[in-house]
Amino acid sequence: MKSPAGQSPANLEQNSGVSGFSITPQEDRILRIERIAIRLFGVANCIVSFGQVSSRFSKGERSMAALEASFCDSMAFPHDPVIINDARLDPKTATNPWVVGPPYIRFYAAQPIVDNKVVVGAIFLIDYVARQYQEEDTFLLNDLSGLVEQELLFDSLQAVHDDVIRQNRSLRRESMIDPVFGTWNRAAIIRSLEIEVDRCKKAGKPMSLAMISVDNYAGLKNEFGLHASEAILIKMVSRMRSCIRPFDALGRYGVEEFLVVLPGTSHLVIQAITERIRSTVLAHPESIEDKTFSVTVSVGTVSTDIVQAEPDDLMNRVEQALHAAKKAGKNCVVHAPTNLTP
């Protein structure tokens, strides 16, 4: 983590040398601590540094804030509090270029910032007149370093929390994905149907549902085996995806059956889309063990602009439509009838 350049926070953007400088939430909290320190100790500036604060400024910039940042970068992070009442008289700083030259720093104090027992930064106090540092000031500066250390702990815990959230989301998503085809699994696609039925009903828009099945899949599996037959399904899924919109939901419902949930789609549109899916699959013959053959699909569809129904009823109707497509000779699309037959 790196703090802002350490200049007076009120002038952060104009003194930073960076137009449109954006402050992170953590940097904003650090700036508050710097403002408190400036007011508390009555110094010219307070800089909370985690290394190379001068990188905030343009190369060669000679503003007061840039020079103060360069001075802090020249000082190693101390392991114990450092107090120099008059930098011109102390051998550690008497020849420092920012003491003997602009900005002519006279007073300097530094308090280490520790994270997991390791010094990771420091709070620097800077002034242009010599000062007498009181014992009470030592305690106050130590308290301020404790606040900064709490910020580090907070950010560390926040990072762990965010990582756990990301992992949980990833695991939850993985639990909803079919491992073979990368589509939604059965539970997920049914949940998508329930969500879209409710959403489209509230928006006053239609939605359609399609169930697609590979014809004679059992025969393909018996003749060529599971691996080859699944490879055919994987290709079919890819072709199905090319015919639907990115926000339409595609999921595996059975062994060779897939559901497509299409929000905002009328019965006329779903019939056109599913006919395109049927013809696209048919247009790509498969070759296995020197045998070339056509793969066909049967499709059942249902739309809420024809039938006003809840998810369970829509599933019953689309399954009946698929059964009708298979009964009609396969390789065709059948839209669900208005009335369900027993």
Quick count: other Cβ atoms within 10 Å of Cβ 149? 17
Looking at beta carbons, which pairs linking 88-92 to residues 24 or more positions away fall under 8 Å?
88/130
Residue 12 in this model has a pLDDT that exceeds 60? no
For residues 294-306, average pLDDT: 94
Residue 194 in this model has a pLDDT that exceeds 50? yes
Residue-range domains of the chain with CATH = 9-170 (3.30.450.40), 186-335 (3.30.70.270)
Residue 4 in this model has a pLDDT that exceeds 60? no
Are 57 and 69 in contact by the 8 Å Cβ rule? The answer is yes
- Confidence class of residue 333 from pLDDT cuts 50, 70 and 90? very high
- Confidence class of residue 22 from pLDDT cuts 50, 70 and 90? low
Residue 339 in this model has a pLDDT that exceeds 70? no
- Confidence class of residue 25 from pLDDT cuts 50, 70 and 90? confident
Gap between the Cα atoms of 34 and 8, Å rounded: 8
pLDDT tens for each residue of 232-274? 899 999 999 999 999 999 999 998 999 999 999 999 999 999 9
What pLDDT score does 2 carry? 36
Segment (H or E) for 92: none
13-35 core/surface letters (b: 16 or more CB in 10 A; e: else): bebbbeeeeeeeebbebbbebbe
Residue 11 in this model has a pLDDT that exceeds 50? no
What pLDDT score does 16 carry? 37
What pLDDT score does 115 carry? 87
DSSP assignment of 116-157 equals TTEEEEEEEEEESS-----HHHHHHHHHHHHHHHHHHHHHHH
What pLDDT score does 14 carry? 35
At 232 the three-state DSSP class reads: helix
Residue 109 in this model has a pLDDT that exceeds 50? yes
Gap between the Cα atoms of 181 and 190, Å rounded: 17
For residues 305-331, average pLDDT: 93
> Which residues lie closer than 8 Å to 312 by C-beta, 6 or more apart?
none
What pLDDT score does 5 carry? 37
pLDDT > 70: what percent of the chain?
86
CA dist list (Å): 136 to 86, 140, 143: 19, 6, 11
Are 100 and 67 in contact by the 8 Å Cβ rule? The answer is no
Segment (H or E) for 211: strand 207-214
Are 180 and 237 in contact by the 8 Å Cβ rule? The answer is no
> Which residue type, as a one-letter code, is found at position 109?
A
- pTM score of the predicted model: 0.54
Q: Which of 15-19, 89-93, 120-124 bottoms out in mean pLDDT, i.e. has the lowest?
A: 15-19
The residues with which 213 forms a beta bridge, in sequence order, are 257, 298
Residue 331 in this model has a pLDDT that exceeds 80? yes
- Confidence class of residue 7 from pLDDT cuts 50, 70 and 90? very low
What pLDDT score does 30 carry? 85
DSSP assignment of 262-321 equals EET--HHHHHHHHHHHHHHHHTS-EEETTEEE---EEEEEEETTT----HHHHHHHHHHH
208-242 core/surface letters (b: 16 or more CB in 10 A; e: else): bbbbbbbbebeebbeebeeeebbebbeebbebbbe
What pLDDT score does 15 carry? 38
pLDDT tens for each residue of 152-172? 777 666 666 667 667 666 656
Helices (H) and strands (E) in the chain, counts: 10, 11
